[in-house]
Amino acid sequence: MMMDSYTGFAYLYDTFMEDVPYDKWADLLSCLIGAYGENIKTVLDLGCGTGSMTLRLCDMGYEVTGVDNSEDMLAVATDKAYEVGKDILFINQDMRTLELLEKQDCIISVCDCINYLVLDEDIISAFEHIKECLKKDGLFIFDINTVYKYENVIGNTTISEDREEGSFIWTNYYSTEDHINEYDVTFFKKVSDEDGGLFKRFEETHIQRGFTLAEIKDFLLKCGFRFVTAVDEETRKEPTDTSERIYIVCRR
């Protein structure tokens, strides 16, 4: 990620994100890779977080590597892979300066990781480095939260959730002028059961940027990618003005 986030929250992330449709996204990725890729063997999961998608890609038979900017998220991912007997390499790197020893057949990035690239120079740097890490004709598949989603679904809202192992308060602020979305997360992790429970408080701020498909196409073109297709995550058809999450396929 583009900031000092997903530190303490990393250890509660899977608990509070258990409704994220990883199986559905993994199936969509499999369909896109099958439709537009040839002889795809190596896949890099960029912004892999706690490794939920990385493990699913591994189960599909791909040789998978996970990359994330958060050491804490990678610590969780490594433990999860070990627990299920998966030998997966996890690397701590920033996508804006991504470097690999071996080029990949396919690089994927899901769960709105690209939305963390707030500045134009951030997204251009990331796309250029991603391109250099792909083999010739390699695929880059990623998703984005759209401007529509930030403006009409997430908006300026506050949500909270309370669990046995912890709780959080999520306050969202969105600027329609620059399409910047900021959300402040305050969460409490249980560290002891004594005296009814002792909780440690953490605070994090995350900043994302909403993109239109036209903006993304322009960035891809500037960085030398060939746009292949884009689909609405929900319908798997051509995106519309009310699409909330879009999957984009491009080729080096």
Q: Which residue segments constitute the domains of the chain, with CATH numbers given? A: 8-145+211-251 (3.40.50.150), 149-209 (2.20.25.110)
More confident residue, 134 or 5: 134
**Which residues, other chains included, contact 237 with Cβ-Cβ below 8 Å and sequence gap of 6+?**
231
Cα(94)–Cα(75) distance, integer angstroms: 16
**Per-residue pLDDT reduced to its tens digit, 137-196:** 999 999 999 999 999 998 888 888 787 777 878 899 999 999 999 988 887 777 777 766
How high does pLDDT run on average in the chain? 91
60-94 burial: b if 16+ Cβ within 10 Å, else e: eebebbbbbbbebbbebbbebbeeeeeebebbeee
Select the more confidently predicted residue: 121 or 194.
121
Please give the average per-residue pLDDT across 102-114, as a whole number.
96
Mean of pLDDT values over 222-238 = 97
pLDDT reading at 8 higher than 80: no
Q: C-alpha 36: how far from its chain's center?
A: 21
* pLDDT the model gives residue 3: 45
pLDDT at 5: 56
Of the candidates 37, 235, 247, which has an alpha carbon nearest to the alpha carbon of residue 142?
247
Confidence of residue 2 (pLDDT cuts 50, 70, 90): very low
Mean pLDDT of 118-133: 97
pTM of the model: 0.90
Residue-level length of the chain? 252
Percent of the chain with pLDDT strictly greater than 70: 92
Does position 6 have pLDDT exceeding 60, yes or no? no
* pLDDT tier, 220 (very low <50, low <70, confident <90, very high otherwise): very high
Is 80 exceeded by the pLDDT of residue 7? no
Pull the structure tokens for residue 60.
């599909």
Task: Give 76-96 pLDDT, tens digit per residue.
Answer: 999 999 999 999 999 999 999
